[in-house]
Amino acid sequence: MPRFIVRLWVPDRPGALGAVASRIGAVRADVVGVEILERGGGRAVDELTVELPDAELVDLLVAEIGQVDGVDVEHVRPVRRAEADRATASVAVARALAGATTAEVVLAELAEGLTSLFEADWAAVVDPNAGAVVVLRGGDDIPSAEWLAAFVIGSSAGEGSFAAVDELARAKLERCGLQVVLSREHLPLRAGERQVMSGLADLADELVARASSAG
């Protein structure tokens, strides 16, 4: 049966998600995955992986969910990855990183894995000190190496490990002095997604350091 990811704004109170699940069941659909992406201001941003008996029921699904007080549907998209949820998909990326035999392959797997995991437009591993892009994955509409290096340096001046722009996320690879930048214009990158990205970047950083010392 077709699966869709439904991104919702939900009141951060007990029973709100249960009310949504009830409406989903009204169209003979099943929730097969739940991910909390962000919480704050009395609301939460959740992503539900929903299995529908027929893809033509998507509009009815959105209408039913919209009947729940305080709930807004931000985005609906088909599931493109093989895994049912992002947690499982993240483990698959981590396994690919761990199986890489050289530092170059680790970085390539990181960029490839992040692009697929977050359905991103592009991902770049950047060396800000050299003003160079080490690895690039994605489409044609990608900024220059100079722009990416300037973005990394400029956003690093703020607090935290991430960029403050909704469509861009940045994570550090401390040991090797690199940073990975991810872009997704069609849908904001939320805090939970940025945390997953940071965790995978940390793993890649450790693996690159090991490969470099072994070489």
Residue 69 binned pLDDT confidence (cut-offs 50, 70, 90): very high
What are the tens digits of pLDDT across the range 15-41?
999 999 999 999 999 999 899 999 999
Q: Do the Cβ atoms of 145 and 128 come closer than 8 Å? A: no
What are the tens digits of pLDDT across the range 5-18?
999 999 999 999 99
125 has a pLDDT exceeding 80: yes
Q: What is the mean pLDDT of residues 190-206?
A: 95
205 has a pLDDT exceeding 70: yes
- Residue 161's pLDDT is 44
Domain ranges of the chain: 3-78, 86-214
Q: Is 94 exposed, middle or buried (0-12, 13-18, 19+ CB in 10 A)?
A: middle
Least Cα distance to 135 among 105, 168, 99, 100 occurs for 105
- Residue 166's pLDDT is 81
Residue 169 binned pLDDT confidence (cut-offs 50, 70, 90): very high
Q: What CATH number belongs to 86-214?
A: 3.30.450.40
Tell me the fold of 3-78: Alpha-Beta Plaits (3.30.70)
Residue 81 binned pLDDT confidence (cut-offs 50, 70, 90): low
